[in-house]
A = this chain, B = another copy of it.
Amino acid sequence: MTATPVRFGLFGSGRIGQVHAASIAASPDAELAWIADPFIDGAERLAAQYGGKTTTDPAEVFASGEVDAVLVASPTPTHVDLIRAAVEAGIPVLCEKPIDLDISRVEELRPVVAAAGVPVALGFNRRFDPGFHTARTRVAAGEIGRLEQLTIISRDPAAPPAAYVAVSGGIFRDMTIHDFDMARFFLPDIVAVTAFGTTTFDEGARQHGDFDTTTAILKSASGALVTIINSRHSTTGYDQRIEAYGSEGDLTVANQGTSLVSLSNANGVAAGAPFEASMVTRYTPSYRAELAEFLKLVRGEESASPTFDDGRAALLLADAAQRSATEGVTVEVDLT
């Protein structure tokens, strides 16, 4: 690729902003031009490492004329305004999930995005995880016939701080939203949701009326069922697996190990290492592939980037699950 690199404006220099900055720096097709964060120290640290100008004011980035695309990795409440500013400026945007915690703000923004004709991609990076992507490609190629059941196991190494839980919008909107999108990656047409959630170990969840343990079932228009099993903790590290059962066979994505070494002795057989516990290590390849796909979009090429409407659909499913789990009802959804 010998084209001029795409100049990026990055909003947010926190954990996920750092991941994206590293992806941009690692890509021969992208460069970090501006970093905006009200917490200017964070922005400057990133700039020192990867280059770029810094500011506390996003408007300065848009006004600079020096960015070809923006990446929104700032706190969720800022997403809607930043997407709006980007499409008004005609600048393609890759926005972290969720679009917002309030579906009404998303619905309001939706026609603006649709009318603008400016590319807006959502940061559902797990679509680009090598295992999940391969499984979906092979399912789509008909390798297991018609897809009948999909199981998504998605357990995080450890619960987030209580302060984070407080503003997270709840486990369904914060964590399961990745899995709702994964469900739709395989089966876009979800028509109903039922879910149970309980709080059994996380004090932060208990304080803020959130769940730490959930299971949701989705029904697709085709009759295929999706099961999503979530927990805010998993002692053995990330537990991220998919099982797809079809009329002709099953495709399984195993969990990602950290070592090829195993021990056998009088106690049995043991792999000596737990699963990956670092989000960065576990998902770096998917973030890099996500960026590469977004760059296609920026360049006007065909792209598999998840869209604004994918972001909206995942939020609708999260809202439905939240309602199902709190009110004890099965919820029909209309994602169109």
Contact surface of A with B, Cβ cutoff 8 Å: 130-131, 134-135, 138, 143-144, 146, 148-149, 151, 153, 155, 192, 194-196, 198-201, 213-215, 217, 219, 222-225, 227, 229, 231, 234-236, 239, 243, 245-257, 259-275, 324, 328-330, 332
Contacts and interface: CB of A to CB of B under 8 A. Distances in A.
A61 to B, nearest CB: 29
A264 B248 contact: no
B273 A268 contact: yes
Given A198-B224, A274-B268, A217 B219 contact: no
Q: Specify which of A231, A253, A263, A271 lies most central, judged by the most chain B CB atoms within 10 Å of its CB.
A: A263
B249 A236 contact: yes
A270 B269 contact: yes
Nearest to A265: B249
Contact of A149 (B143, B194, B231): B231
Contacts of A329: 328-330
B219 A198 contact: yes
A268 B271 contact: yes
Contacts of A330: 194, 196, 324, 328-330
A86 to B, nearest CB: 34
Contacts of A235: 246-250, 264-266
Given A224-B200, A263-B144, A217 B236 contact: no
Contact of A143 (B243, B248, B263, B275): B263
A333 B253 CA distance: 35
A260 B238 CA distance: 14
Contacts of A262: 251-252, 254
A80 B256 CA distance: 44
Contacts of A135: 261
Contacts of A324: 194, 330
